[in-house]
Structure 1
Amino acid sequence: MNIFFDGQLLTTTIYVTYKGLTIQIDDVIVDTGSSHTIISPDVLEEIGVTYENGDPIYEAYGIGGTVPFYTKIIDEIRIGDFIAKNIEIDVGELPKYHNGLLGLDILKEYKFVLDLEQLEMYAKQSF
């Protein structure tokens, strides 16, 4: 799948399915510095992803300080031809103009390869 470089960041498009509803999420940062994949709650509300009693809550630490997140199991995440089912993602606030971070929990687990010359990304392993 294609990745995009805006002069500062690499971004891509992902598709998230939850309880049978799917949403296309653009402007997701390909973030090898993030240990977890994080999606904005504003985006996921469109398909019914909201905090529910029992969802784990924790604080993430980064350059900008700490931010609370909750964890959710979603039906499916699709990135190009790659599909992972019943996958855990974090839901939390992100900087303006970006809808998510694609982190190492997915990039490393599924052995994604980033071709920065061709601006392409693909998973070496499919499940």
Structure 2
Amino acid sequence: MNLFYDGQLITTSLIVTFRGEALKIDDVIVDTGSSHTVISPDILETIGVKYENGDTIYEAYGIGGSVPFYTKNMDKIQIDSFTIKDAQVDVGMLPQEHSALLGLDILKQYNFIIDLDKLELCPSMREKGD
């Protein structure tokens, strides 16, 4: 799958599906410094994602301070032709111009290879531990 580099950030696109509703998200930051995949609630509300009783809430800490997040299970996340079923993402506010981060929870679990020369993101053929 293609990556894009704007001189500062590496981004890609993905499709999330929640309760049968799909949404394509462009300009998703490939963030090896983020332990979790995070999507803005403003983006996800278009497909019906909202906080519900029982959703796990926690606080994330970073350079800019702390921000509350909640965790939601997506039916699937598709990155190009690679599909992850029953994927968990964090829902929380991101800096203004960003709508999502693809974090290490997905990148590491599926052994994605980031080829910076070719600007490609490739999943390995097996999950970690197989």
Shorter-chain-normalised TM-score: which range? over 0.9
- What letter matches 1:44 in structure 2? L
CA positional deviation for 1:126: 5.7
Match of 2:29, SS? strand
| TM-score when normalising by structure 1 | 0.97
5+ long unaligned stretches in structure 1: none
Indicate yes or no: 2:95 matched with 1:86: no
Q: Distance between the aligned counterparts of 2:38 and 2:28, measured in 1?
A: 9
Counterpart in 2 of 1:64? 64
Match of 1:95, SS? coil
The 1:50/1:34 distance shift into structure 2, 3 A limit, reads same
CA RMSD of aligned residues (A): 1.0
Q: Percent identity?
A: 62
Q: Distance between the aligned counterparts of 2:39 and 2:113, measured in 1?
A: 21
5+ long unaligned stretches in structure 2: none
Match of 2:109, SS? coil
CA positional deviation for 1:125: 3.0
Q: Distance between the aligned counterparts of 1:106 and 1:70, measured in 2?
A: 17
- What letter matches 1:24 in structure 2? K
Give the number of equivalent residue pairs: 127
Q: 4+ residue runs of structure 1 moved beyond 2 angstroms? A: none
Q: Distance between the aligned counterparts of 1:23 and 1:77, measured in 2?
A: 10
Equivalent residues in 2 for 1:1-127, closer than 5 Å: 1-125=1-125
| TM-score when normalising by structure 2 | 0.95
Q: Distance between the aligned counterparts of 2:121 and 2:109, measured in 1?
A: 14
